[in-house]
Copies of this chain bind each other. A is one copy, B any other.
Amino acid sequence: MDDLDREILSILRRDARTPYTEIADEVGTSEGTVRNRVERLTEEEIIERFTIATQTGNVKAMIEIEVDVDVDHSALADAFVEWAEVDFVWEVSGEEDVVLIVDCADTGEVNDLITRARERDEVMGTKTRLILEERVG
């Protein structure tokens, strides 16, 4: 991981469709070099995947879920990630919590998700924060 790698990553983060030739021009090298490096970065899983950032609905939110201490987080997380509105499920340190990042049509839908989460026995409580503004680094 040198500076050239970092430059390439930063360009791809902004627009993953930028052609190798254009990246090469921008960073001052050849298409093949950019290609090799992107392939290497992908193999090393520094680039986890090429993906799209979507906003299918109008409301994004963070739902923090407090779970019972003796519960299998992993199974719970697996269940949450199946929900269509859920973009990410994070198991986090701190207070035995799981955090959902969701993308909903409206606040009603956020509320539905919270209700569905609370219906599960393993879930002791939830705390929701609407994401009002997102900046991408």
Contact = CB atoms under 8 A, between A and B. Distances in A.
Q: What number of copies of this chain does the assembly contain?
A: 2
Given A91-B131, A93-B132, A137-B89, A55 B62 contact: no
Interface string A39-82: 00000011111111111100000100000000001100110111
B54 A133 contact: no
A52 B12 contact: yes
A129 B81 contact: no
Given A1-B56, A46-B56, A81-B137, A132 B51 contact: no
Interface residues of A, number: 54
Nearest to A101: B137
A35 to B, nearest CB: 13
Given A15-B51, A48-B54, A94-B128, 8 more contacts: A14-B49, A14-B51, A48-B52, A49-B52, A81-B135, A90-B131, A90-B133, A92-B131
Closest 8 interchain pairs by CB?
A92-B129, A91-B133, A94-B129, A16-B50, A89-B135, A81-B135, A93-B130, A48-B53
